[in-house]
A and B are shown apart, each in its own frame.
Chain A
């Protein structure tokens, strides 16, 4: 499977460029549900990337006490700090439960990672007023709009004659 096979209407609702950019720009503390402590797993790569990009990552995984130097919590209800965003690395059938936890915890935004079928969870979160992204990788999207994905020779789909904005790192 390459992706979750969203319809054009689902892509319009759950892959909106303006929503993605707002989430990347405004989030500071990110709960990562299903973050693995194993170094070569995709979730570990993504969380490492997010930390380096300046976000605080709060790992949520009942199997681990500490990941990437951060205390790890068994579920979203146990996280003692307010989260700006929840990123979900769980199987499709577990995503609805994660959405319910995020709603109960008052998290304003939820992001279901690439290749995870999460339609019911996305609909539930959207109905509760959360901003939702589905079937996208947050590392890829950050790299796309941060100007670094292009260095990997990937097709960002971005065409612009405007000068790039300075980033904190390049100032």
Chain B
């Protein structure tokens, strides 16, 4: 090659485009060859090299390019850049699931003997991963009640390498007070990792409040249609890893390459992709990346509708005689309503729980009767579908626990979790009303 390549991107502009524009465009420019307007699905395992020298340089991470879909794929890359753009991140790495996103985000930071401090208001699957699987990796986890900053501070030790919480806790619906927690993390030179699954970047962008790493189960509202499992890790590009051993130190699998020195603000993500995803195999498939992109293109429209329907349903349940309590931070009497206004514009997602009045004293039986009477809510173990979903933890996911153990887990026998979809709101109220009134 004798001449330098001309820039391949047509327009040079410095305009900051709006969120909705970036939902549709960020990460994808119609390619020079065919100009396909939709994002092409590169359903291929591998990519032919230009020549042997280019192949060697790709493997050494000296060039941007495609090698093998386990490490990167052009369709998946559109999804990654789009999420990064919407979260205000410097970049992103997609994973096979939300659980994989957590594992990869943390494994990239941690070595055996390290610790993390995590909120106790987390998805049960996350608690299990942290408690049992991380134990096998000699990673210590300290769970804290996230509502008091002092709890976090007291749990931090010299071995602490990350703080972890959910923007909207699952299933309690509590809201994480991001800004002071990010300030604490910053003062200790520890990255704050926030799971933003229930909020989506449309309702809350944790990086704007000081978080370093944002992860998602893209399976939920990002995909939005209940058809694909996927996850993603976005990073702010603002954290100084120069004293962080795993990111700044020499990499044994890249001939002593120091990711932070060589890649700077891309160092963490480059390491997450080129080491952790490469070695765990937790990659997203291009087909799922395409389906998740289809979801992102309507994210704002869906979240407007999800949250409007959720508030309507929450208000209806609050006033219903067969309901003991409703825990939705969008309601003014919820203890976290102020935080919901501060971080989520008063719209804390569309997943929340409520309690059934157990007239005869048997809350588990009342829960089963309620679930079986519903006609429109789908009884399944997921959230963030376009359709409305319901689950009664005491008779399903937590059925092996005693009533006492359920209470300790914050999941009472009377608790029902809803994920409110996009249906006609009156139809959802009709279904809940008829199921709540079902004879015993």
Contacts and interface: CB of A to CB of B under 8 A. Distances in A.
A109 to B, nearest CB: 13
A68 B5 CA distance: 20
A155 B17 contact: no
B3 A150 contact: no
A134 to B, nearest CB: 15
A54 B258 contact: no
Interface stretch (B7-15, B131-139, B213-221, B309-317): B7-15
Contacts of A160: 9-11, 13, 25, 29
Nearest to A146: B8
Nearest to B72: A151
B257 A54 contact: no
Nearest to B234: A155
Contacts of A53: 1, 4-5
Nearest to A114: B264
B93 A165 contact: no
B9 A147 contact: yes
Contact of B14 (A2, A17, A169): A17
A69 B57 CA distance: 16
B170 interface: no
A115 interface: yes
A153 B8 contact: no
A82 to B, nearest CB: 16
A162 B256 contact: no
Given A2-B264, A25-B4, A153-B80, A162 B72 contact: no
Interface in B243-293: 254-258, 261-266, 269-270, 273
Size class of B's contact patch? 35 or more
Main secondary structure of the interface of A (DSSP, over half): loop
Contact of A159 (B22, B30, B63): B22
Interface stretch (A100-108, A124-132, A137-145): A137-145
A164 B31 contact: yes
A1 B242 contact: yes
Contact of A48 (B25, B62, B81, B264): B62
Interface residues of A, number: 54
A18 to B, nearest CB: 6
Contacts of B93: 153
Contact of B29 (A114, A164, A169): A164
B8 A164 contact: yes
A52 B3 CA distance: 10
7 nearest CB pairs, A to B:
A153-B80, A154-B91, A145-B7, A162-B10, A155-B84, A148-B64, A147-B8
Interface of B: 1-15, 17, 21-22, 25-27, 29-33, 35, 50, 53-54, 57, 61-66, 72, 74, 76-78, 80-81, 84-85, 89-94, 237-240, 242, 254-258, 261-266, 269-270, 273
Interface of A: 1-3, 17-18, 21, 24-25, 27-28, 39-42, 45, 48-49, 52-55, 114-115, 137, 140, 142-170
